[in-house]
């Protein structure tokens, strides 16, 4: 019997977004469609919900043929420990890693006791192709988008990794996702994590790729500049099936880099939602230029309770670090805040701390202006992902988590940056009050 484990190893998350964890379950769902794969377990141990004893038992009892290990900027600290447990407790398994970090810095991973690294393309394709090679008895076979370890060393991929069109995506099985753990991480809004406190979130992976191409973002580097998006029918069918399997969902998070990039699609979705008597409230992420008053009002009427936008900065000196379409000025942002308020939508602004060209005073002014409009502010530290190098140590790579500075910085400037990231938060969300509890849920 061929057995596969798709796992995010235990670690202490610096930031948590359930949407960032969905690739684990998408890979697992995709592998279940692959020929020769008889059993797939999915274990997300990255939400303070799994200890090393639990993981050891999983490995010892599982006797897996292949273990697909998810990686990320915020989860490399325990990489070696996980691999030591794996080699000790499941010695027959081949181990492949996939994730955002190996897509941007694949050379870093050749130092670890791995058998393969997915470095480009959709993770389902890279992991699936390697699994097929292992099950066929040819684990050293050269593959597209995957570097493979052989007796002679590491081989290069045969070409770029393959990608899937949206109708080929396998969406997550909600029955294997640790929602209780996710909710505990979202419960304190002072952390400025992305979820809505006290309510159960259904993440719907809606789109991949983004043509905006921000230099500090990894989406276009990993998934390309061409957006790929599920049909409205598929989205609504998935929501209905998920609610049938797990009736406790209370809102939907549409996981897409720029949710309103395709405005006709967004309008169609909203009109379809308006026709549903039991639609769930929902939230999304997009950019200021991809919103207009009519669309915002339609989204609010269709149940949207939060729109997150990459504001980044209102400091004109920092606009040279942004794509032209994202250079937002105060009057435009103020109009958007008013449209959202009038439509019953909480506006959430991502503000980039330390963006090249900006000053501490400019960042302070951006945050103060947003808060004066009663906008929720989610500050994040500018992180030059393009500076990642294969020769970096694990400790150096782990600093690329948008929480810690990656380059030498004067102490007084570092203190001002860290005050935004780690200082007290004067405003916490009340948006959960607009999201009714599910009938079976306990009161908040």
Domain boundary among 155, 175, 195: 155
- Please tell me what DSSP assigns to residue 426: S
Distance (Å, whole) CA 310 – CA 349: 6
Assess whether pLDDT exceeds 50 at residue 442. Answer: no
Average pLDDT estimate for 340-355: 97
- What are the tens digits of pLDDT across the range 218-276? 999 999 999 999 999 999 999 999 999 999 999 999 999 999 999 999 999 999 999 99
Residues found in the chain: 444
Is residue 58 a part of any domain in this protein? yes
Is residue 328 a part of any domain in this protein? yes
Same domain, 416 and 311: yes
Same domain, 143 and 73: yes
Distance (Å, whole) CA 164 – CA 170: 10
Distance (Å, whole) CA 77 – CA 91: 22
Same domain, 360 and 212: yes
Average pLDDT estimate for 389-410: 92
Backbone φ and ψ for 399, nearest 5 degrees, come out as -75, -15
Same domain, 224 and 151: no
Same domain, 127 and 205: no
Segments forming the whole domain that contains residue 27:
3-155
Same domain, 191 and 150: no
Is residue 175 a part of any domain in this protein? no
Assess whether pLDDT exceeds 70 at residue 443. Answer: no
Same domain, 30 and 125: yes
Backbone φ and ψ for 130, nearest 5 degrees, come out as -70, -40
Is residue 165 a part of any domain in this protein? no
Average pLDDT estimate for 193-203: 97
Total structural domains in the chain? 2
- What are the tens digits of pLDDT across the range 300-337? 999 999 999 999 999 999 999 999 989 999 999 999 99
Same domain, 142 and 226: no
Average pLDDT estimate for 187-200: 96
Average pLDDT estimate for 295-299: 98
Which of 43-57, 70-84, 164-178, 284-298 is the least confident region? 70-84
Distance (Å, whole) CA 316 – CA 311: 12
- What are the tens digits of pLDDT across the range 66-80? 999 999 988 888 899
Distance (Å, whole) CA 388 – CA 369: 33
Q: Write the CATH number for 19.
A: 3.40.50.280
Same domain, 118 and 191: no
Q: Write the CATH number for 226.
A: 3.80.30.20
The percentage of residues in the chain with a pLDDT greater than 70, rounded to a whole number, is 99
Identify which of 39, 44, 47 has the alpha carbon closest to the alpha carbon of residue 66: 39
Q: Which residues pair with 284 in a beta bridge?
A: 307
The contacts of residue 291 (CB under 8 Å, 6+ apart) are 260, 307, 309, 336, 339
Distance (Å, whole) CA 165 – CA 331: 39
Segments in 276-359 forming alpha helices (H): 293-301, 330-342
Identify which of 44, 55, 50, 52 has the alpha carbon closest to the alpha carbon of residue 21: 44
Is residue 238 a part of any domain in this protein? yes
CA angle, 139 as apex, 138 and 145 as ends, to 5°? 115
Same domain, 127 and 196: no
Assess whether pLDDT exceeds 80 at residue 440. Answer: no
Segments in 155-308 forming alpha helices (H): 179-186, 219-223, 232-245, 263-274, 293-301
Q: Determine the longest span between alpha carbons in the chain, in angstroms.
A: 64
H and E: helices and strands count for the chain = 14, 15
Average pLDDT estimate for 162-174: 97
Average pLDDT estimate for 9-36: 95
Q: Please state, rounded to an integer, the average pLDDT across all residues of the chain.
A: 95
Segments in 275-359 forming alpha helices (H): 293-301, 330-342
Do the Cβ atoms of 280 and 303 come closer than 8 Å?
yes
pLDDT at 74: 83
Is residue 74 a part of any domain in this protein? yes
Same domain, 133 and 194: no
Identify which of 107, 128, 129, 130 has the alpha carbon closest to the alpha carbon of residue 119: 107
Is residue 180 a part of any domain in this protein? no
Distance (Å, whole) CA 227 – CA 265: 13
- Please tell me what DSSP assigns to residue 175: G
Is residue 323 a part of any domain in this protein? yes
Q: What are the Cα distances from residue 375, in Å, to 279, 389, 421, 430? A: 25, 37, 17, 12
**Quick one: CA torsion of 320, 326, 331, 334, rounded to 10 degrees?**
-130
Distance (Å, whole) CA 410 – CA 403: 16
Same domain, 198 and 99: no
Other beta carbons within 10 Å of 113:
12
pLDDT at 95: 98
């Amino acid at each position: 019997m061929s057995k596969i484990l798709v796992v995010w190893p235990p670690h202490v998350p610096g930031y948590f977004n359930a949407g960032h964890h969905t690739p684990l379950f998408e890979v697992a769902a995709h592998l279940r469609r692959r020929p020769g794969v008889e059993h797939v377990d999915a274990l997300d141990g990255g939400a303070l919900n799994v200890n090393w004893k639990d993981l050891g038992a999983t490995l010892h009892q599982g006797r897996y043929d292949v273990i697909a290990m998810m990686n990320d900027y915020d989860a490399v600290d325990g990489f070696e420990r996980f691999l030591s447990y794996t080699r000790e407790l499941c010695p027959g398994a081949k181990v492949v890693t996939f994730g955002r970090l190996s897509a941007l810095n694949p050379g870093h991973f050749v130092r670890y006791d791995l058998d393969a690294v997915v470095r480009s393309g959709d993770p389902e394709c890279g992991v699936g192709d390697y699994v097929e090679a292992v099950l066929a008895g040819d684990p050293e076979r050269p593959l597209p988008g995957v570097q493979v370890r052989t007796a002679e060393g590491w081989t290069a991929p045969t070409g770029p990794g393959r990608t899937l069109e949206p109708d080929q995506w396998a969406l997550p099985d909600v029955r294997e996702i640790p929602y209780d753990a996710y909710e505990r991480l979202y419960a304190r809004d002072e952390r400025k994590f992305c979820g809505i406190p006290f309510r159960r979130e259904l993440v719907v992976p809606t789109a991949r790729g983004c043509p905006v191409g921000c230099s500090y973002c990894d989406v276009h580097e990993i998934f390309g500049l061409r957006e790929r998006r599920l049909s409205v029918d598929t989205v609504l069918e998935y929501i209905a099936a998920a609610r049938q399997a797990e009736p406790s969902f209370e809102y939907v998070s549409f996981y897409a880099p720029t949710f309103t990039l395709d405005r006709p699609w967004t309008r169609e979705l909203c009109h379809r939602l308006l026709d549903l008597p039991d639609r769930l409230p929902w939230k999304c992420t997009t950019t200021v230029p991809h919103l207009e008053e009519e669309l915002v009002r339609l989204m609010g009427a269709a149940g949207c309770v939060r729109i997150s936008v990459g504001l980044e900065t209102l400091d004109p000196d920092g606009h040279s670090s942004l794509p032209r379409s994202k250079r937002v000025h105060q009057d435009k942002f103020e109009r958007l805040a008013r449209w959202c308020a009038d439509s019953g939508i909480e506006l959430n602004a991502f503000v980039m701390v330390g963006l090249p060209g900006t000053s501490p005073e400019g960042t302070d002014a951006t945050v103060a202006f947003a808060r004066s409009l009663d906008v929720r502010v989610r500050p994040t530290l500018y992180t030059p992902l393009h500076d990642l190098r294969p020769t970096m140590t694990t400790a150096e790579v782990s600093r690329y988590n948008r929480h810690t500075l990656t380059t030498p910085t004067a102490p007084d400037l570092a203190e001002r940056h860290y005050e935004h990231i780690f200082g007290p938060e004067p405003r916490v969300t009340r948006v959960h009050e607009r999201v009714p509890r599910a009938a079976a849920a306990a009161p908040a």
